[in-house]
Amino acid sequence: MTDDLRRRLAGRGYRLTPQRELVLRAVESLGHATPDEVLAEVRQHSSAVNVSTVYRNLEVLEELGLVRHAHLSDRAPTYHSVTDHEHFHLVCRSCRGVVSVGAEAASVLTGRLADEHGFTADIGHLTVFGTCAECAREENP
């Protein structure tokens, strides 16, 4: 599997470095993580890795389609691996909770945007903000 990664990188003229691999493994094991969180995880395994290396590698890995990012807060973006099926995110403004929803749920919308606007939506990057059931209940009891 490491060889597979090496091949994918080589295909675009990139090399496989320990840092690169650590960043990818960190994203895979964390689920949804900001660059900062990825750095922290990477440093558990190798303490001398630099922030800029994390940013640069997230960029490369995203270009290769191995990770993706979405904006789950007004602050930092969060990265996740692409091994799982395509999904988008619901974020509750009240409790900050995040739920992943399969891309199928948005198919009517994407179809409509394609028909009416010729627009090809990138659902994997989509984040829908709002209020989750639990928080709605608390606010209007």
Residues that bind DNA (CB under 7 A): 6, 9-10, 13-20, 34-36, 48-53, 55-57, 59-60, 75-77
Size of the site for its own copies (CB under 8 A): 31
Residue 141: strand, helix, or coil: coil
Burial class (CB in 10 A: 0-12, 13-18, 19+), 78: buried
Residue 116 Cβ vs DNA, minimum distance, rounded to whole Å = 31
Written as six digits, the tokens of 32 are 């949804």
| Contact positions with its own copies (CB under 8 A) in 85-114 | 90, 92-93, 99, 101, 105-106, 108-109, 112-113
Query: Closer CB to its own copies, residue 10 or residue 105?
Result: 105
Radius of gyration of the chain, Cα coordinates, nearest whole angstrom = 18
Residue 102 Cβ vs its own copies, minimum distance, rounded to whole Å = 10
- CB-based contacts of 92, cutoff 8 Å, min separation 6: 98, 130, 131, 132, 135
Residues in the chain: 141
Query: Closer CB to its own copies, residue 34 or residue 131?
Result: 131
Q: Which does 90 bind (CB under 5 to 8 A by kind): its own copies, DNA, none?
A: its own copies
**CA–CA distance, 64 with 103 (Å, rounded to integer):** 21
Q: Which does 56 bind (CB under 5 to 8 A by kind): DNA, its own copies, none?
A: DNA
